[in-house]
Amino acid sequence: MDKPFYSIPSGVRELFPPLPAISRKIEQEIIEFFSLYGYEEISTPVFMYELHMRNELFEPFESTFFKLTDRNTGETLVLRPDVSLQILQMVLNKREKLLPLRFSYAEDVYRDMPPQAGLMREFRQIGVELLGLKELEGDAEIIGVVLKVFKKIGINNLVLRLGNTEIINTAVKTKDEKLKRQLISAFSKKNFSLAKSMMKEKEMETADLIDVLSSVTEKDQIKKINVKGELKAEINKLVDLLDIIQVDTSLIKVFLDLLYCENTNYHRGIAFEIYAKNTGQPLCIGGRYGKITEFLGEYIPATGFTLNLDRVVQSLNIHKIDKKTVFVIDRTSDKKQGRMICEILREKGIPSVRDIIKRNVTDSLVYAREMGYRWCLIVEKDIEIYNVNKEVFVQVDFERWLSEYIDNRNAMG
């Protein structure tokens, strides 16, 4: 079958009005909120030379690179696969580092995901990064900020999945790297029986703990875990973290996952995901990732989170915005008065659109309602003013209406 005249690749963003305006408004609100906590906006390049990307940093995403060739140099370029790692590389490249550093960002990200997975290959990330703070207070700050930003934009009934990847790293200590990879794979797929049987086969002392660790999902259940030493310390970090955050459990359900091990090449330490109830994909992913810099000989503690803007907008379930646009229907022959009125409105900061198509007034009013315009001005001998939302004509002259609109533009409807 021939392809349609216009087609787009799978997994890319194509947004019709009003979604771009809604997304931009939410993005701006989120970035401004981050600034209240001292997170300053940073911008990273859309593409980088593959040769200059530190393999130890970008290895988790290497299989998803979008590559192209620089026609000036012949070198291979890679579209931005991850913002956090770009920021980390930018900081590592600085000779002088005044830590801690707090950054926020809003950038498009590109990953070549298989189309059958149903995942986006182009998406917008909004997030923050906290570099140079290893204390648990840093993790608490990050999680506190993201929970507050969700409350700010109106997303409630959240589920916080919280874990510590060092619990598994401590529980499955082995010099057999192949075995460790197999165990991590089993844990990531939640195949605990397979992981336990492999551990028993290798006579690992912690094998019998797997059933207990996998059954704990709430803070109060941790006391039934009878462990000591390093493993106990890593488990207790979750208890201490929750004590600092003081999550409002009436609004947010906390789900502890003591065997959390997704993205182990990336996350090392406290890690989390946040879901809106009844959604399959996380709105937010975050956690510690600074240990990855140890491969480069310079350890910088790092934690942060990223929001998927498209999923956030979808969760808000906003399908239209309140447009303050005025629709000017000029019924005069030369249309001069309509043009003049539009210029007056625009000078006052009021968006205006002229109805240029020849049609009857009723059809123009229907069009205005479908487009979501707020007001119609019908220009003939006089100017009639129509409230689109209420579907009524307003008995007031243009000058008075304009004055009231300006004085009450946020309240008039």
Distances (CA, A) of 396 to 228, 237, 321, 327, 364: 79, 66, 26, 17, 21
DSSP state of 14: -
For residue 159, which of 262, 314, 278, 310 has the smallest C-alpha distance?
A: 278
Q: What is the pLDDT of residue 412?
A: 45
Residue 220: how many other CB atoms lie within 10 Å: 8
CB neighbours of residue 89 within 10 Å = 18
Q: Which domains does the chain have, with CATH numbers?
A: 19-316 (3.30.930.10), 326-407 (3.40.50.800)
Single-letter amino acid code for the residue at 158: L
HSE toward the beta carbon, residue 327, CA cutoff 13 A: 24
The pLDDT score that the predictor gives to residue 413 is 44
Residues of the chain with pLDDT under 70: 1-5, 54-57, 95, 115-118, 264-265, 278, 296, 319-322, 409-413
Phi, psi for residue 222 in degrees, rounded to 5: -65, -30
Backbone dihedral angles phi then psi of residue 298, each to the nearest 5 degrees: -145, 100
pLDDT of residue 368: 93
Q: What pLDDT was estimated at residue 362?
A: 94
